[in-house]
């Protein structure tokens, strides 16, 4: 794994950790609020429940768009790397080319995952902070 890929993996790990801490907090708070609201939620509860759905839709739409954009950015570089590997003669240089191509694919995959995770993580962390103040 190259140094850049290690940094990407560490950033992805941090995002995942933040999401795994924030999401259960938000879920617990909102479920408790739903249970307390009962069959007739107040206007404030209705706004929160509506906001909950809208935030999820927005975060996932942003995640899909970011992943699609990152995929389109990475695709030409991956295609060129594959074309280079096809025309590399056998031997030590071919092996080095294959390793470089594998690192490039790994970086592209982590880039797509990182771009997709960022809006979902940002929404969950912001909600956890906001709901913990209430």
Record the pTM. Answer: 0.79
Q: Where are the domains of the chain?
A: 56-134
Q: Greatest CA separation found in the chain?
A: 73
Query: Collapsing DSSP states into helix, strand and coil, what is residue 120?
Result: helix
Query: Rounded distance, CA 18 to CA 126, Å?
Result: 11
Give me the percent of the chain exceeding a pLDDT of 70.
95
User: Which tens digits make up the pLDDT trace of 24-59?
Assistant: 999 999 999 999 999 999 999 999 999 999 999 999
CA dist list (Å): 117 to 16, 23, 45, 63:
8, 13, 28, 7
The tokens describing 5, both together, are 């890929």
User: Which tens digits make up the pLDDT trace of 86-123?
Assistant: 777 666 566 677 788 888 899 999 999 999 999 999 99
Query: Rounded distance, CA 123 to CA 59, Å?
Result: 7
């Amino acid at each position: 794994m190259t140094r850049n890929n290690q940094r990407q993996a560490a950033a992805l790990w941090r995002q995942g950790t933040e999401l795994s801490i924030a999401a259960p907090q938000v879920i617990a708070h909102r479920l408790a609020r739903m249970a307390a609201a009962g069959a007739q939620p107040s206007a404030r509860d209705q706004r929160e429940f509506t906001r909950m759905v809208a935030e999820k839709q927005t975060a996932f739409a942003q995640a899909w768009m970011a992943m699609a954009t990152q995929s389109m950015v990475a695709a030409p570089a991956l295609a060129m790397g594959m074309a280079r590997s096809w025309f590399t003669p056998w031997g030590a240089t071919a092996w080095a080319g294959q390793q470089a191509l594998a690192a490039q694919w790994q970086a592209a995959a982590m880039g797509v995952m990182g771009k997709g995770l960022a809006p979902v993580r940002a929404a969950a962390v912001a909600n956890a902070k906001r709901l913990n103040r209430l």
